[in-house]
């Protein structure tokens, strides 16, 4: 199985900050990398698919980049509604696997 490792596990940031979360795959996954946002008590929400494609309806302050084994999710200007946990997930090989999550908290 492909292992996905996110860093950091948590971070504190202020509204307006630029935030970057990284995700590393245990083997090359080309661009088959997706990002989800999850708020407490809610289902995850797809933000980015295929490493850099913005899902319909997702604000443009979210962006993704990377290929192979190293990927990044960037929030260009953190908004109050962005405080949540973010997960990366590979869709290169089954079983599809997720990173352990990065919790973005208010500073």
Partner 1 sequence: VQLVQSGAEVKKPGASVKVSCKASGYTFTSYGINWVRQAPGQGLEWMGWISGYNGDTNSVQKFQGRLTMTTDTSTSTAHMEVRSLRSDDTAVYYCARDLVVGATGTGEFDSWGQGTLVTVSS
User: Which residues form the interface with partner 1 (CB under 8 A)?
Assistant: 32, 34, 36, 38, 43-46, 49-50, 55, 87, 89-92, 94-101
CB of 28 to partner 1, least distance (A): 16
In the complex with partner 1, the residue whose CB is nearer, 43 or 60, is 43
Listed in sequence order, the residues at least 6 apart from 57 whose beta carbon sits closer than 8 Å to its beta carbon are none
Q: Is residue 20 classed as helix, strand or coil in its secondary structure?
A: strand
In the complex with partner 1, the residue whose CB is nearer, 17 or 83, is 83
Rounded to whole angstroms, how far apart are CA atoms 85 and 101? 6
Place of tokens 């997930």: 89
CA proximity to 33, closest of 55, 51, 57, 54: 51
The tokens describing 44, both together, are: 């995850």
CB of 85 to partner 1, least distance (A): 9
In the complex with partner 1, the residue whose CB is nearer, 2 or 78, is 2
CB of 15 to partner 1, least distance (A): 26
């Amino acid at each position: 199985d492909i292992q996905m490792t996110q860093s950091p596990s948590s971070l504190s940031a202020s509204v307006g900050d630029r935030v970057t979360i990284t995700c590393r795959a245990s083997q090359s996954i080309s661009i088959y990398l997706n990002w989800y946002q999850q708020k407490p008590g809610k289902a995850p929400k797809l933000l980015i698919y295929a490493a850099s494609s913005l899902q319909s309806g997702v604000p443009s302050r979210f962006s993704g980049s990377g290929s192979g084994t190293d990927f990044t999710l960037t929030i260009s200007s953190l908004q109050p509604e962005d405080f949540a946990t973010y997960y990366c997930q590979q869709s290169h090989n089954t079983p599809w696997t997720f990173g352990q999550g990065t919790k973005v908290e208010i500073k």
